[in-house]
Structure 1
Amino acid sequence: MKKQRPVNLDLQTIRFPVAAIASILHRVSGVISFVAVGILLWLLGISLSSPEGFAQAAAIMNSGFVKFIFWGILTALAYHTCAGIRHLMMDFGMIEESLAAGTRTAQVAMVVTVVLSILAGVWVW
């Protein structure tokens, strides 16, 4: 049986709703946070190994590129936390499960993340 339905494989023509973008970003930020744990534990291990190791870790953190990476890690963690709280509130029934509420809470999570990201950037730099 052959189905005659349209297939759109051009992702640039598909317009995702805000809640779908929030869900995708939540998964991406989770992967980034998972990888960041390894990087941060490595840096912590160096800094706790000896006084010379601490100086080496401090020198690593003084690099502009590393500060940018660290800011990205903090931003991903902030978004993952905000979106996770949003999901928990919806799971516990504190927020109704409707399209309007999903869109509104996704927008709130993104705005809060932008504010936290700016604050993290000020703190890192």
Structure 2
Amino acid sequence: MAEAVKQARPEFRNIGIGQLARYRLPWAGKVSILHRVSGALLFLLLPFILYLFEQSVTSELSFAKFSALLSGGFVKLVLLVLIWGYLHHFCAGIRFLLLDMHVGVDKPSSAKSAIAVLIVSLLLTAVFGLKLFGVF
């Protein structure tokens, strides 16, 4: 009699390599992964960031050297990636602090805040990028 009442337990399997391309990660997961990537990017490029800061504040001659270095297109692209990394890490960090305070932990508001983080960080990056490339 006890065997007839027993229900089948759900079986969870790991995702295989072939299924990775078809797996749809939720927005909150994408923001979490990008938060980790941006943090690692900022950490790994910290010597470059410190070098740029040192060149900008040491003397007038080093500032002129800094300005000449920033006139190159490749360096501006690297700087734009650093700007995105910082802005995304900052915005996502605020989101995660709010989640730690149990604000917006339900699924719909979590998805909305994740999309908001992506939009805000990309819009701010676009504004700083336009300023960096001298559009305004």
Residue matched to 2:6? none
Alignment coverage as a number of residue pairs:
121
Alignment of 1:104-123 (within 5 A): 104-123=112-131
- 1:32 paired with 2:41, answer yes
Distance 1:30 1:6 in 2: 28
Distance 1:55 1:108 in 2: 39
Residue matched to 1:84? 93
Residue matched to 1:124? 132
Residue identity (%): 31
Please say which structure displays the higher CA radius of gyration. Answer: 2
Moved beyond 4 Å, runs of 4+: none
- List gaps (5 residues or longer) in structure 2: 1-12
Q: Report the TM-score, using the length of structure 1 for normalisation.
A: 0.86
- Contact 1:75/1:117, CA 8 A, preserved across alignment: yes
Q: Secondary structure at the match of 1:12?
A: coil
Distance 1:47 1:90 in 2: 37
Residue matched to 1:68? 77
Distance 1:123 1:41 in 2: 21
User: Which protein is richer in helix relative to its size?
Assistant: 1
Cα drift, residue 94 of structure 1: 2.8
Amino acid corresponding to residue 89 of structure 2 in structure 1? H
Residue matched to 1:8? 16
Moved more, 112-121 or 34-43: 34-43
Cα drift, residue 93 of structure 1: 2.3
Query: RMSD of the alignment, in Å?
Result: 1.9
Alignment of 1:17-28 (within 5 A): 17-28=26-37
Residue matched to 2:9? none
Q: Deviations over 1:59-79 (max 9, x none)?
A: 101111111111111111111
Cα drift, residue 81 of structure 1: 0.6
Distance 1:61 1:55 in 2: 10
